[in-house]
Amino acid sequence: MELIYGHPKSLKPIQTKYCPGCGHGVIHRLITEVIDELGVQSKSIIMNPVGCSIWASLYFDFDSVQVPHGRTPAGATGIKRMKPDNLVICYQGDGDLAAIGTAEIIHAANRGEKFTVIFVNNAIYGMTGGQMAPTTLVGQKATTAPYGRDPVEAGMGYPIQVCELLATLGGTKYLARGAVNNAANTRKTKQYIKKAFEAQLRGEGFTMVEILSQCPTNWGMTPVQSVEWVESAMMPFYKLGEIKNTLEGGAK
* Structural domains of the chain, count: 1
Q: Is residue 11 included in any domain, yes or no? A: no
pLDDT band at residue 250, thresholds of 50, 70 and 90?
Answer: low
Contact residues for 88 (Cβ-Cβ < 8 A; gap 6+): 45, 47, 76, 79, 80, 115, 116, 200
Residue 171 within any structural domain of the chain: yes
- CATH of residue 212's domain is 3.40.50.970
Query: pTM of this prediction?
Result: 0.95
Is residue 18 exposed (0-12), middle (13-18) or buried (19+ Cβ within 10 Å)? middle
Q: Span 209-230, mean pLDDT?
A: 96
Residue 186: inside a domain: yes
Domain assignment present for 161? yes
Q: For position 249, what pLDDT does the model report? A: 67
What confidence category does residue 251 fall into, taking pLDDT thresholds of 50, 70 and 90?
A: low
Q: Is the pLDDT of residue 39 over 60?
A: yes
Span 84-93, average pLDDT: 97
252 in any annotated domain: no
Residue 96 lies in a domain: yes
Between 49 and 175, the more confident residue is 175
Whether residue 17 is contained in a domain is answered as no
Confidence of residue 248 (pLDDT cuts 50, 70, 90): confident
DSSP string, 39-97: T-GGGEEEEE-SSGGGGHHHHBSSEEEE--TT-HHHHHHHHHHH-TTSEEEEEEEHHII
Residue 215 domain boundaries:
24-245
Average pLDDT over residues 133-158: 95
Cβ–Cβ < 8 Å for 172, 205: yes
Cβ-Cβ contacts under 8 Å for 53 (sequence gap 6 or more): 24, 91, 92, 93, 96, 120
Task: Tell which wins on pLDDT, 3 or 161.
Answer: 161
Considering the chain, what is the average pLDDT of its residues?
A: 94
The band of 2, judged by pLDDT with boundaries at 50, 70 and 90, is confident
> Does residue 195 sit within a domain?
yes
Name the strands in the sheet holding 116-121, side by side, starting at the edge strand that comes first in the sequence: 63-66, 44-48, 87-93, 116-121, 206-212, 172-179, 241-245
pLDDT (tens digit per residue) in 15-26: 988 999 999 999
Helix, strand, coil % (nearest 5) of the chain?
35, 20, 45
103-113 per-position pLDDT tens digit: 999 999 999 99
Question: Contact, 176 vs 196, CB < 8 A?
Answer: yes
pLDDT, position 105: 97
Using CA atoms, how far residue 59 sits from 8, 71, 153, 204, in Å, is 11, 21, 43, 28
- pLDDT tens-digit profile of 153-209? 999 999 999 999 999 999 999 999 999 999 999 999 999 999 999 999 999 999 999
Short-list 60, 172, 65, 164, CA closest to 115:
172
For the cut 90, the answer to whether the pLDDT of residue 5 exceeds it is: no
pLDDT in tens, 53-73: 888 889 999 999 999 988 999
pLDDT, position 111: 98
Confidence of residue 88 (pLDDT cuts 50, 70, 90): very high
